[in-house]
Amino acid sequence: MSSPVHCLIASSKGGVGKSTTALGLAAVFARAGRRVLLVDCDVSSRSLEMFSGTDDKALFHLGDLILGRCTPEQALLVPFPELPDLHFCPAPTRLEEAQVLEKFPGGYPEAVAYGCSLLLSDAYDVVLWDTGSGYEIPRALAPLSK
Query: How far is residue 134's CA from residue 146's CA, in Å, rounded to a whole number?
Result: 22
**1 pLDDT higher than 60:** no
- Residue type at 15 in one-letter notation: G
- Strand 126-133 versus strand 5-11 pairing type: parallel
Report residue 97's pLDDT band, with 50, 70 and 90 as the boundaries.
confident
- Local confidence band at 15 (pLDDT 50, 70, 90 cut-offs): confident
User: What is the average pLDDT score of the chain?
Assistant: 90
pLDDT of residue 146: 62
What's the pLDDT at 11?
81
Taking every pair of C-alpha atoms in the chain, what is the biggest distance, in angstroms?
A: 42
Residue 23: strand, helix, or coil: helix
Give the amino acid at 17: G
pTM of the model: 0.92
